[in-house]
A and B are shown apart, each in its own frame.
Chain A
């Protein structure tokens, strides 16, 4: 009011006077003295002028704001969707012909985390690095968005957009023309295990003229399928149940590594690898190999032989067992007979609980012999180790060779590629022949090498956007339901595409179904029953079914196989990579940056060889060599590895891509070395080039000694007590892992007196802790990628990995014990130990890292200034600093834009995306802890029940090596495991009191005897 009064009193004479004065001046200057200056004429009073002025200012100020976004409630809310509350959908992912039943976490309509379906007996809630990383591929910014029509080779597509119907019609037109010409049409599909796709393929062949569907694998490994078919009549690969095996002998089988069934096999294997005080038993695993594989690293005994001796070794093994069992022996040459004899004794002692696994890349002879051995041992059959056959795992080569013949004779006039990439994978001849086909169409996730050679490219829907199905080896029928509408709006699933083609030619054939979904549901209902079963299927994700079981093994068929492996000085093994597999996941930075489980290199393929071989060639790590196989050569940098035979060089497929901005330019295309796409060993010559190429490794020192280099003959006290292994005998005798001895160390190797001068904090409610079983861990990287996905960890790129700045919150440290010639390996997952006396906490000047009342070492990103003092003072070096703006830098560099849509949708909304300049590290998945606490509170519990939730790493781990829980609950799994005889704390002597307990690795060195 006061101001108002003031305001009303001001229009005084003073004001008028000055106005007049002003008018006078204006008048004088303009020379128009008679005229009253217009300003006085203005109808605007001083007050209204002020009012308008302030209104204008207010409007101006109000205009300076962020653009408005309207929050409008959905007119039709998606089913069950409540903002902020996650939904879980059952679905599955087909990794080639192996199905992974999944439970996918969906937030606000977008899938944010992939987990194994815990109801499904094969995966039991577990997953792998590859499965975890498929989420990235869903949101890959490089996915094809519009349908590309009318592209000519070598011309960048521009503006030729079309609708799916139009594109299918154009393809159909081309097919009609081709058929009219009397030529053939071929549809090339990737390997799958979907009954629906099989049905559709049949219908295509039936209704679309001159058309055949060919399963065209990226890489071919037919040995097992050929052997099984001839010997047991089952067309496919056997899947062993390792839970049932007491003695496992692997002949170069990397069943814990790049195997498609690795999740299941790891589960089975690991279940028998964790002896307890109550049950101190475990399986015995003997690996026969020339390389040092992830699987071999887990072996109790390694027999190192040259690859050309594998067949000889298996023959010798067979002969030993056949003699014992009274069967006919083989007369083929044998190798490593002594080793074979000792292995045979153990297998015979194990009887039907013994098994031989043969590497999938080995010859049909090797597989046939392996099958015969298993048959003699009695481990094949119902309830035995080998019971089930992997569906649709029959030999692939005949179809591919038939296609080659058709192409050679120029019978093929049109070809449609769906999920395959022959331009990248096929040999020179096939690639040239395919390029000559007049009509080429592609159906692909990204604009890959093959799509660039096609006239029409239809964006493929990701499996998480599609309706589909798959069948697992246990006979269960898994449903694939879309979790999100296809991100490229015109994307089609393979099923939709085939359905569209069928409809184009035979509208009646699809039973009146208008849309693919209608047809799909009809088909599924025919299999599972009515509507309620349909709903049950969607909820559970699968229905049980009848598995394909292996038939009776006919030993006489063994005679039809001959050893094929040629002796050679140097054999190069070319197999799918354990991260990007055969290249179908190459454009995925989560996988590219996932370190090789053994050598820890990232981003590319290298030539792995023994130190001796490297010395002979006059090269060292990072020197580039030319690997030549049959006149075809690629150049790879060398990486030396312990424990390998001097005659072996290993490299992997999947790299050296020319398409996909993320993958392109890393590594070399090792498909060039393959003969007609078959993986395996090839006799090779390796020569040095004199060039060097840096390799990005996440770990460079692998020994655990108090010396810089690995000293073979160092006494025991020269070993850092940071990893521990026991033999099964030692474990049974009660031996415990022993730390450093200090004056305060008791006789049991543990501190006797409390080292703190003040009493520690009393944790009253929860006290979170973790136990990691080194005996179970195989180092498969599932936890690494699961953590990456759960916690929005950005890829950093090869250059930054080389600088030592990889951001993974959990790393798998690999240490070698024994001697460099005969190394034993222990994998130690290392993550923030959430120390009670955390050395990082007291050194932070701004208190950005603090301890929670529940025992978590918490990192407050907002408060972090970035001194990196905590990192320096962390004895485990598990803290990760955002040296650059990693949350966007990688994509900026690769794609030239800020973190591009739709990758932002892949982020877990419960976890902060960290900016540059702040420290980050493992949080023990605090967002999951909090979610579990809400649920517990809602349910009226004062504590979170044990096992009510899992951390991301724990949930993914197929070996179940990680256990998380409440240490204050004496009945929790962690509390019990913590008291194990095998338990130890890493760097216990520092008195930082970590919350992560490790259980020592146990190696079963006891020979199995009858």
Chain B
């Protein structure tokens, strides 16, 4: 690596003080060939094995969902004080995971953070898949799923309108808007790359499909012009959604009167937590993708280090929120509220609370040190810990607030059944299956964008033979 850096310094002089975003100085053609080859090659046995494994988990989860629908919510562990358990925990968890995608794509795009290019595609894909998994839970958690469509306001012969005062109703709009915009954003950003694949792949069917989805992209100046404009607008549109979706999700709790739910800190706290968990999940996936798909030149340590900084920052934010919640609970003088928080830390679910604190507040502290920030195995472990911690955060908020609330006579306890655990595992199966399919058949790295950040793409770069070669390709490809 030292030689590469030296090489760049030699070539680019002072302009290249920072680490390069792409290592190994690939040509434009190299990039196309590298990314396209993933889609073109026959799936490896290892890939097929992984895919069948995740698909099997997904199928098991779907089976458990069907079992729940056919038998009733009673196959879960929920009971009378505790109306929500793993279902809504998983919902908020997955929605949180889905946040980093939009954040990386849209906000970092608007801030012209070029390091995002290597990871934005997979982050966006992760968003879509996570939101799909998230959306599943509110749907299946209802007692009568066959009437779940009543949550959508539509003109009907019953002359019944939905209740717009309910935060759950706001969720319907927030989540569906988020899914729609994220999906369009992801797809739109992919059009030039799909066109590249269309031009490169040999398989007839694949060519037709890529052709269909590339929407007749020709790479003309006019196309690029419109594309850039639309992408910018969508980025602008998605950015407030990052804030709104998780704020709205948090309102499910804040709008309730339950101590432990009824608190104004939730919207910002949930957004910070969502970014935190989202980045952790992207990190987990990238570290794997980097190894498995051999993308070390594109997803560099610098990318990972930047992400670790964000994880550290957002981890501190949620830590602050935990402390502030405690403080406010005592400072408010509301004994019900102060009981709930003391009970969180000392009660039946104290183990969940302290798991959360250890994972979310303590474990990211290692990222204060540059050496540790750049240690791939360590960041992998921390990213997983953060994901676990953030899951427990939602569980703690939901279950501990519900299980001991106002009247001790109604207090209870909740443990999930194997069905709930299976469904949660199943959503991981769905998520990973979709991600594997994505990684294989869709350009995991935004080819066009990565090319744009290559030194060769800079106006002041010496045109070498490789650059010339790439130039030719650029004109009819991406």
Q: Which residues of B contact A879 (CB under 8 A)?
A: 80
Tell me, in angstroms, the Cα distance from A830 to B79 when the chains sit together: 18
- A176: Cβ under 8 A from any B Cβ: no
Q: Which residues of A contact B160 (CB under 8 A)?
A: 846-847, 863
Q: Which residues of B contact A22 (CB under 8 A)?
A: none
Q: Which residues of A contact B169 (CB under 8 A)?
A: 845
Q: Is the CB of B172 within 8 A of A845?
A: yes
Beyond A839-B257, A883-B78, A918-B144, whether A868 also contacts B83 by CB under 8 A is yes
Give A847 Cβ to nearest chain B Cβ, in Å.
4
Q: Which listed segment binds B: A289-297, A500-508, A703-711?
A: A703-711
- Among A842, A877, A992, point to the contact of B81 (Cβ < 8 A): A877
The binding surface of chain B is classed by DSSP as: loop
Give B429 Cβ to nearest chain A Cβ, in Å.
25
Q: Is the CB of B408 within 8 A of A702?
A: yes
Flag B325-340 by CB within 8 Å of A: 1 or 0 each. Answer: 0000000000110110
Give B134 Cβ to nearest chain A Cβ, in Å.
16
Q: Is the CB of B409 within 8 A of A883?
A: no
Give B80 Cβ to nearest chain A Cβ, in Å.
5
A sample of 11 inter-chain contacts (CB < 8 A) reads A805-B74, A842-B166, A842-B255, A844-B168, A845-B172, A865-B148, A866-B143, A867-B138, A873-B257, A879-B80, A881-B73
Q: Is the CB of A873 within 8 A of B162?
A: no
Interface centre among A813, A863, A883 (most CB of B within 10 A): A883
Q: Is the CB of B409 within 8 A of A845?
A: no
Q: Is the CB of A865 within 8 A of B162?
A: no
Question: Given A803-B79, A804-B80, 7 more contacts at CB 8 Å?
Answer: A700-B412, A804-B412, A844-B166, A865-B142, A867-B142, A871-B83, A916-B72
Q: Is the CB of B143 within 8 A of A847?
A: no
Give A690 Cβ to nearest chain B Cβ, in Å.
24
Q: Which listed segment binds A: B179-187, B215-223, B398-406?
A: B398-406
Tell me, in angstroms, the Cα distance from A695 to B143 when the chains sit together: 28
Interface centre among A811, A877, A916 (most CB of B within 10 A): A877
Q: Is the CB of A815 within 8 A of B408?
A: yes
Q: Which residues of B contact A705 (CB under 8 A)?
A: 408
Write the chain A residue with the least CB distance to B398.
A872
Interface residues of A in 861-914 (CB under 8 A from B): 863-869, 871-873, 875-877, 879-885
- B151: Cβ under 8 A from any A Cβ: yes
Q: Which residues of A contact B72 (CB under 8 A)?
A: 882-885, 916-917
Q: Is the CB of A703 within 8 A of B79?
A: no
Q: Is the CB of A720 within 8 A of B142?
A: no
- B3: Cβ under 8 A from any A Cβ: no
Tell me, in angstroms, the Cα distance from A884 to B82 when the chains sit together: 15
Interface centre among B167, B256, B343 (most CB of A within 10 A): B256
Give B168 Cβ to nearest chain A Cβ, in Å.
4
Interface residues of B in 127-184 (CB under 8 A from A): 138, 141-144, 147-148, 150-151, 160-163, 165-169, 172
Q: Which residues of B contact A881 (CB under 8 A)?
A: 73, 78, 80, 83, 143
Q: Which residues of B contact A803 (CB under 8 A)?
A: 74, 77, 79
Q: Is the CB of A880 within 8 A of B80?
A: yes
Q: Is the CB of A845 within 8 A of B83?
A: no
Q: Is the CB of A843 within 8 A of B78?
A: no
Q: Which residues of B contact A700 (CB under 8 A)?
A: 411-412
Tell me, in angstroms, the Cα distance from A113 to B150 when the chains sit together: 36
Give A968 Cβ to nearest chain B Cβ, in Å.
26
Q: Which residues of B contact A707 (CB under 8 A)?
A: 339
- Among A706, A843, A876, A992, point to the contact of B336 (Cβ < 8 A): A706
Q: Which residues of A contact B76 (CB under 8 A)?
A: 883
User: How many residues on the B side are at the interface (Cβ–Cβ under 8 A)?
Assistant: 56
Interface residues of B in 52-83 (CB under 8 A from A): 71-83
In the A-B complex, the 5 residue pairs with the closest CB atoms = A866-B143, A917-B143, A883-B74, A804-B79, A868-B83
- B258: Cβ under 8 A from any A Cβ: yes
Beyond A881-B83, A882-B72, whether A872 also contacts B410 by CB under 8 A is no
Q: Which residues of A contact B409 (CB under 8 A)?
A: 699, 701-702, 811, 813-815, 828, 830
Tell me, in angstroms, the Cα distance from A810 to B246 when the chains sit together: 37
Q: Which residues of A contact B161 (CB under 8 A)?
A: 847
Q: Which residues of A contact B163 (CB under 8 A)?
A: 842, 844-847
Beyond A800-B74, A865-B150, A882-B143, whether A843 also contacts B166 by CB under 8 A is yes
Q: Is the CB of B339 within 8 A of A884?
A: no
Beyond A804-B79, A846-B162, A918-B143, whether A872 also contacts B84 by CB under 8 A is yes
User: How many residues on the A side are at the interface (Cβ–Cβ under 8 A)?
Assistant: 62
Q: Which residues of A contact B138 (CB under 8 A)?
A: 867
- B475: Cβ under 8 A from any A Cβ: no
Q: Which residues of B contact A (CB under 8 A)?
A: 71-84, 138, 141-144, 147-148, 150-151, 160-163, 165-169, 172, 252, 255-258, 335-336, 338-339, 343, 346-347, 402, 404-413
Tell me, in angstroms, the Cα distance from A794 to B77 when the chains sit together: 20
Q: Is the CB of A867 within 8 A of B79?
A: no
Tell me, in angstroms, the Cα distance from A918 to B150 when the chains sit together: 14
Q: Is the CB of B71 within 8 A of A867?
A: no
Tell me, in angstroms, the Cα distance from A548 to B409 when the chains sit together: 45
Q: Which residues of B contact A877 (CB under 8 A)?
A: 80-81, 405-407, 410
Beyond A811-B409, A814-B409, A873-B256, whether A866 also contacts B142 by CB under 8 A is yes
- A188: Cβ under 8 A from any B Cβ: no
Interface centre among B79, B161, B165, B172 (most CB of A within 10 A): B79
Q: Which residues of A contact B73 (CB under 8 A)?
A: 866, 868, 881, 883-884, 917
Q: Is the CB of B83 within 8 A of A865?
A: no
- A679: Cβ under 8 A from any B Cβ: no
Q: Is the CB of A839 within 8 A of B256?
A: yes
Q: Is the CB of B256 within 8 A of A845?
A: no
Tell me, in angstroms, the Cα distance from A704 to B408 when the chains sit together: 7
Tell me, in angstroms, the Cα distance from A708 to B411 when the chains sit together: 10
Q: Is the CB of A708 within 8 A of B166?
A: no
- A806: Cβ under 8 A from any B Cβ: yes
Q: Is the CB of B144 within 8 A of A884?
A: no
Give A885 Cβ to nearest chain B Cβ, in Å.
6
Q: Which residues of B contact A871 (CB under 8 A)?
A: 80, 83
Q: Which residues of A contact B343 (CB under 8 A)?
A: 708
Q: Which residues of A contact B172 (CB under 8 A)?
A: 845
Q: Is the CB of A876 within 8 A of B80?
A: no
Tell me, in angstroms, the Cα distance from A990 to B144 when the chains sit together: 31
Q: Which residues of B contact A846 (CB under 8 A)?
A: 147, 150-151, 160, 162-163
Write the chain A residue with the least CB distance to B150.
A846
Tell me, in angstroms, the Cα distance from A706 to B407 when the chains sit together: 10
Q: Is the CB of A865 within 8 A of B406?
A: no
Write the chain A residue with the least CB distance to B404.
A708
Q: Which residues of B contact A169 (CB under 8 A)?
A: none
Interface residues of A in 668-709 (CB under 8 A from B): 699-708
Q: Is the CB of A884 within 8 A of B407?
A: no
Tell me, in angstroms, the Cα distance from A868 to B84 when the chains sit together: 7
Flag A974-987 by CB within 8 Å of B: 1 or 0 each. Answer: 00000000000011
Beyond A865-B143, A869-B168, whether A843 also contacts B80 by CB under 8 A is no
Q: Which residues of A contact B81 (CB under 8 A)?
A: 804, 877
Tell me, in angstroms, the Cα distance from A722 to B409 when the chains sit together: 11
